[in-house]
Amino acid sequence: MEDVGTVGTLAELLEHRAASHPDRVAYRYLDNGEEESASLTYGELLAESAAFARMATAAHEVGSKALIMCPPGLDYVVAIFGCIQAGMVPVPVYPPSSLLPGRDIGRVLSVANDVDASVAVTVPRLEHLTAPGAMGDLKVDWLFVERGSGEQPGPGAPPLGGRRASPDDVAVVQYTSGSTGTPRGVVLTHRQILSQLGMIQQAYGAETGMEGVSWLPPYHDMGLIGAILGPVWFGGASTLMAPNAFVRRPLRWLEAISRYRAAFSPAPNFAYDQCVRRSSPEDREGLDLSSWRIAINGAEPVRPATLERFYQAFAPCGLKRESLWPSYGMAETTLVISAGALGRNARALRVSRDALGAGRLEQVGHDVTASASVELVTCGPPAEGTSVVAVDPESCKLVGPGAIGELWVSGPHVASGYWGRPAESEVTFRAEIAGGPPGTYLRTGDLGAVVGGEVVVTGRAKDVVIIRGANYYPHDFEDTMQAAHPDLREDFAVAFSVPGEETEQLVLVQGAAIKVADHETLAQATRQIVRAVTDEHGLRPDAVVLVAPKHIPRTSSGKVRRSATRDAYLGGQLPTLYEWRATGNADRAIPGSGTVDEA
C-alpha cells in the first residue's frame, strides 16, 4: 500500500493524492449504468472542490452544517469534498423523489431540524427545490455545485475555511437508515474516518490504485465511506452509477466490474440474489469477473444460501469462491466491524434450531434435517484494532462460550455519538462491561457471538420474535415465505409478533407481485406460506397478510421497516389485499382487491 503520509484529515488526504497523482482518474460516472459520461482526476477533484469551497466560505462560517441533496454522481463527490475543504460539515440526505415527494421532504425536514442545518447543496437541474414552499418550511441558504470551473490550489495554499481542520473535528454527520427506529445523526470525526479507511485496507488487502465499482446510494455508510471516501485512501478509481440503474437491470453492476477490471465492489445481500434471479446463463456470457477479488456482502445477517447461489451462477465467469467476503458493520462504527474471505477466514456454520431459539450456538452435522438446523455464515475476524464481545444485554456481563449475546464493539473507528442526543449517546456509545476489563464499548443492538475468533450475527435485538419463551429471527421466516409462491415479491417480506391472549402471535406480511389479484391466486399463495413456515420452522403463523409492495414501509436505504409495518398492522393502516387468520382456521379475503400496483 502506497504511503499516504501523515495526513490527519480528509482534506489533507485529497491534497496528498492530487499532489502525488494529479492525472490519475479518481471517479467515473456511468449514465444509465452503461455509458461513461464524465470522469474526474485527483487534480480536477481538488480544483473543483476548492472552487466550491471558496464560494461557500464567502458567506458561511466554518462548522456550518450543510445538507447534501445532490443526486448520485460526480456533483455529489465534489459537494462532499467541497464542504470538507470549506470546514463545513456535510450531512448527506436523499433529494426528494418526484414519485413520493411528501415522504422524502418529511425526512429532509426531520434531519435538517435535528442537525440545525443552515445550508443545503444541490445542482442547477434541481433548482425547483429552492422555490418557496417546495421543501415545506425548510429554512436554509442554497448553494449549487457547478463543475467545470476552478483552478487547482498550489502547494501550501492557505486553508479555505480560515483554519486547518484538526483530526478530531467533525467531518461528517451520517444519518442512520431508521430500520429499527428514528434516524439518528452519527457524528464522525476525521480521525475516526481515516482510522476506518486504514482498517478497510488491512482487512480486505486493498492495493494502491485499485479499481472499484458502486451503484450504492451515497447517502449511507457503505456507499459514502466504502465507495466515495475509500478510493481516495486507496489512490484508486471508483466507477459510479445511480441506484436506479442497478434496480432496473442488476447485471449492469457486474458488466461494469467486468469492463473496468474492478477488484473491489460492495453490496447488500439482496443485490447478489437479484443478479442471479434476473439473469440467465445467456445474459452472463461475456462477463469476466476474474478481477473481482473483494466482493463484499454487507448485511445483518449475510445469507449463506445467497453466497452459494451467486457463486454457482457466476463461477463460469471467473468468479472465485474466496472472492466473496461476508462482512459486518454499521454507521455507528463508520462502516466495517469485521470481514473475511469465504473459505479462508469466514465460513458457513450449521447450528441447532432449538439451541438457537434458546440463545445458544450449537454446531451440528450435515446429517441433521433442515427443519432442525439453521445455516449461518461468519463475518470473519474483527478488523485490526477492533474488539468485539458478546454481552448479556440485561446484566452487561460477558456471556459464556457458545451463548448468544448483544455484540459490543470498541476501536478507533467507533463514532463520537449521536448528534444532539447526549443521554442516548452515553448509553449506546459508552457502555462498560460489568466486572470486565476497563474501557467503553458501543452497544450495537445486534445479537450474535464470536466463534473461533470470527463474528457471527444472528439478528437485531429489537426484531427478535419471542413466542412461548423461544427466540425466532424474523429474516428466517421472511426467507421462507417469499420463496413459497412464484407470485410473491422478493425482498418485500416482514415478520413480527403482536400480543395475543395467552402468548405472542406470529404475523407475516408479504408483498404480492400479482398483476391480477384474483381471490384464488391470493388464497393459494397464502396457503403455501402457512404450509412452508409451519414445515420449516415448526411454528404455525397466526396471521398472513398480502399487500401491494409499495405499502410495506422501507428505509431510505431499501431495508424493510419491521416496527413501522407492525405499527401499521396494529393500527389498521396497512392496505390489505388478502388476509388469513389461524383463529378457527378461517380464510378471509379483503373486499376491493383487484389489480396490484407493482411499485
Q: Which cell numbers in the block locate residue 438?
A: 476497563
The CATH code belonging to domain 465-589 is 3.30.300.30
Query: Which residues of the chain does CATH 3.30.300.30 include?
Result: 465-589
Cβ 386 vs Cβ 334: under 8 Å: no
At 366-408, the pLDDT tens digits run 888 877 898 999 999 999 999 999 999 999 999 999 899 999 9
Residues facing residue 266 across a β-bridge: 296
Cβ neighbors of 374 (< 8 A, separation 6 or more) are: 350, 351, 352, 353, 356, 476
Cβ 305 vs Cβ 370: under 8 Å: no
Give me the DSSP letters along 514-550. -SB--HHHHHHHHHHHHHHHHHHHS---SEEEEE-GG
At 493-506, the pLDDT tens digits run 999 988 887 778 99
Mean pLDDT estimate for the chain: 89
pLDDT of residue 102: 61
Query: Which residues of the chain does CATH 3.40.50.12780 include?
Result: 10-337
CA-angle at 421, arms to 335 and 409, nearest 5°: 35
Q: In 2-116, at which residue ranges do the beta strands (DSSP E only) sit?
A: 25-31, 35-41, 65-68, 89-92
Q: Which cell numbers in the block locate residue 269?
A: 445481500
Q: Is the pLDDT of residue 124 over 50?
A: yes
Q: Which residue has the cell 446484566?
A: 395
Cβ 316 vs Cβ 289: under 8 Å: no
Q: Which cell numbers in the block locate residue 75?
A: 456533483
CATH topology of domain 10-337: Rossmann fold (3.40.50)
Sheet holding 170-175, edge to edge: 170-175, 185-189, 417-418
Give me the DSSP letters along 365-392. -TTS-GGGEEEEE---SBPTT-EEEEE-
CA 27 to chain centroid: 21
At 483-529, the pLDDT tens digits run 899 888 878 899 998 888 777 899 999 998 765 567 888 889 999 99
Cβ neighbors of 147 (< 8 A, separation 6 or more) are: 48, 74, 75, 78
At 287-325, the pLDDT tens digits run 999 999 999 998 767 889 899 999 999 999 999 999 999
